[in-house]
Structure 1
């Protein structure tokens, strides 16, 4: 994709040279788009929000009345437009693969809410399609763009906690009621793909691509056919272990900790910090406790900036390619060990030997 796909509307790049603004359309009117991503998109000086699509024209108009752009009735009509360079896809999980594929085939760069697809096989096909067509495909795992996690990695590399021995990661919050899409199996509901992926991705971030899931359990609401909570045991290089927990019927918790031979680092509010929050990294050693307070950051704004930089300059983001596929493999492994099918139905257990 060359600069000929970019708008004639110009902004200034960081170096002061002229740069064309990236024209983005939105496929779907999800809550996350309203609350966080569209404010971040419209605040970015390198982006123009050109259109918002919904199957309900009135709903699209509600979004464009607030954020700008043209309301479009129907996702296909939006993808057919020739005045878009890229799209953002905040649809329910089971719809991601279909509409990401359609967007790529329409020649659009894609920023998608997580998960990219329901299974590793689907994710691999999408990544291959994007590469074959020379398009950018990013998964919006916004917490990975927050600098607090890079600082934690630096501290571990500096030996602040000695040799890493174990990781714990927990993410859960109270149920928002049966009307919430997480309770709908027909569109990819459940806790694993929406909530559990955060602790799983944390293990991948800090233990590396060799991390493996060696045990898993999922609590399934049989009446509604969705998983509501889960846990996994993982291992990494050098005998490091990890314990991951998540759920959608719990008191709120959003944190992880790295425990080493000489200390422990913990991160509070790890996954959903508001843009005004100043993160605190707690370091516990034998004879002292220290708390590092970092500047506030908007992780959604940083995702948008990473998307623009990847399209314009080819800058790697950590939200694409091999890391996305490894994440999908680990989620598949959790399902396999917990005897759960991708659509949320329990697998048939094999008879005892």
Structure 2
């Protein structure tokens, strides 16, 4: 039996207890060794997941020499501080998206991780679902011709009255639909379109009291006149899709970012080619487990992660440009 990476989980955030800790428990090379939180329920969660070590503060966990990697799911504005603290303590870092609220902060975080010889990765878990590898294979095969446009949507209804203190409604804490879900759409476009991004234009609606974007629609223009559009919202029914249009066909994913919500992790890709053929391929996999296994394997093998800090930097730059466009109501050139 191979070695397991000992993980420390900072906080009892919903995504940590609902997705990440169960994924660590299911991963072939990982162990949930410690959890830290001032939340009184931390002991209850520790018992449920059989996590032996409980800390009342994050700093205490970072001082634990047995912990090799940490998962950080804090509100967006706190990511930089704790990524740097973890790196200085020699912990490999998997941080929830968005990794930081400025590209400058991302650069600093990545550099400090390099200086302390620890791995850094932003947790865009969706990209580990095998359906996206299949999409890339279809594009590379030429079956749908040259990619001309990608359209994506990620929306869900956020109950404002129930979540008054939700960080997603706090502009200073990195709230807003683009930071929360639009970032997935932008990431997918930059990953699947191989051209250089030239400009962005975004329009949307800000909440009159919370001052965060509740809904946003954007156009990304790449070289060779390839485009991508995205739509994200806290005010609409749940959708998470992308569609790629080529000169000879189309690819459609109905569960592009949250395949874990369907039958325990079901990806679905429909390909419509120029010959009129329509076929659908299914991919059963837990994208969270695959993410944790990949990060742990990179630590064990001493190799770089699939999604690098440099790519995180460039993705954050695009999001910054989107917010500039939305605020100033103009096209922003990159």
With normalisation by structure 2, the TM-score equals: 0.92
Q: 2:287 — aligned with what?
A: 299
1:167 to 140, 150, 174: 150
Q: 1:5 — aligned with what?
A: none
1:335 to 294, 298, 323: 323
Post-superposition offset of 1:171:
0.7
Alpha-carbon displacement from aligned partner over 1:54-107 (angstroms, at most 9, x marks no partner):
133x23212212112222111111112222111110111111111111111111
Q: What pairs up with 1:114-193 in 2 under 5 angstroms?
A: 114-178=97-161, 179=163, 180-193=166-179
Alpha-carbon displacement from aligned partner over 1:166-188 (angstroms, at most 9, x marks no partner):
11111111113341432233532
Post-superposition offset of 1:314:
3.4
Further displaced range: 136-145 or 184-193? 184-193
2:30 to 34, 47, 50: 47
Rounded Cα–Cα distance in structure 2 between residues aligned with 1:171 and 1:212: 23
Gaps of 5+ in 2: none
Rounded Cα–Cα distance in structure 2 between residues aligned with 1:287 and 1:337: 40
Three-state SS of the structure 2 residue aligned to 1:281 is: strand
Is 1:185–1:225's contact at 8 Å kept on the other side of the alignment?
yes
With normalisation by structure 1, the TM-score equals: 0.87
Rounded Cα–Cα distance in structure 2 between residues aligned with 1:54 and 1:174: 28
Higher RCO (C-alpha 8 Å, min separation 6): 2
Rounded Cα–Cα distance in structure 2 between residues aligned with 1:277 and 1:75: 31
Rounded Cα–Cα distance in structure 2 between residues aligned with 1:217 and 1:233: 9
How many residue pairs end up in the alignment? Answer: 324
Q: 1:7 — aligned with what?
A: none
Give the aligned CA root-mean-square deviation in angstroms: 1.9
Is 2:171–2:210's contact at 8 Å kept on the other side of the alignment?
yes
Further displaced range: 215-224 or 257-266? 215-224
Q: 2:217 — aligned with what?
A: 231
Gaps of 5+ in 1: 1-11, 14-19, 341-346
Is 2:252–2:270's contact at 8 Å kept on the other side of the alignment?
yes
Post-superposition offset of 1:286:
4.4
Three-state SS of the structure 2 residue aligned to 1:198 is: helix
Rounded Cα–Cα distance in structure 1 between residues aligned with 2:200 and 2:169: 27
